[in-house]
Amino acid sequence: MKNTLSENVAEDKKNNKGVVSMSSDIIPDAELDCVGLYCPMPIAQTKEEIDKLEVGQVLKVEADDPAAEEDIKRWAKRVGHEILKFEKEGTILTFHIRKMK
């Protein structure tokens, strides 16, 4: 019997935490929804969530505050984390951040 897509994603998360899957999608270890929040909340909550992760794990953050694009990129660079992927779709900004230390 074939697995459903959700079963495949769950299996990928279990086996390949924070790595690029066969379909080139990054599988996050945690997700944070900052849609509707404005400065300084997206960056404050991103810091709080990434502090909960182990080194090498990936946090997916979604925000719609236009300032979050520069704020989160600048913060990640300053503290030494890696932005694996950044997407902008309409007003939604999506970051995939790997905890590096």
**pLDDT for the residue 60:** 97
The answer on pLDDT for 23 being more than 60 is: no
DSSP letters, 29-64, are SEEEEETT--TTHHHHHHHHHHHTSPTT-EEEEEE-
Backbone angles phi, psi at 3, to 5 degrees: -75, 150
In a domain, 94, yes or no: yes
Predicted TM-score of the model (pTM): 0.76
In a domain, 19, yes or no: no
In a domain, 84, yes or no: yes
In a domain, 80, yes or no: yes
What's the pLDDT band for 24 if we cut at 50, 70, 90? low
**pLDDT for the residue 85:** 96
Burial grade of 88 (CB within 10 A; 0-12, 13-18, 19 or more): exposed
| Dist. CA 18–CA 61, nearest whole Å | 14
| Span 28-45, pLDDT tens digits | 999 999 999 999 999 999
In a domain, 23, yes or no: no
Query: Which CATH number covers residue 93?
Result: 3.30.110.40
Q: In terms of residue numbers, what domain contains 38? A: 28-98
Average pLDDT taken over every residue of the chain: 83
Catalytic residue IDs: 39
Domains in the chain: how many in total? 1
In a domain, 13, yes or no: no
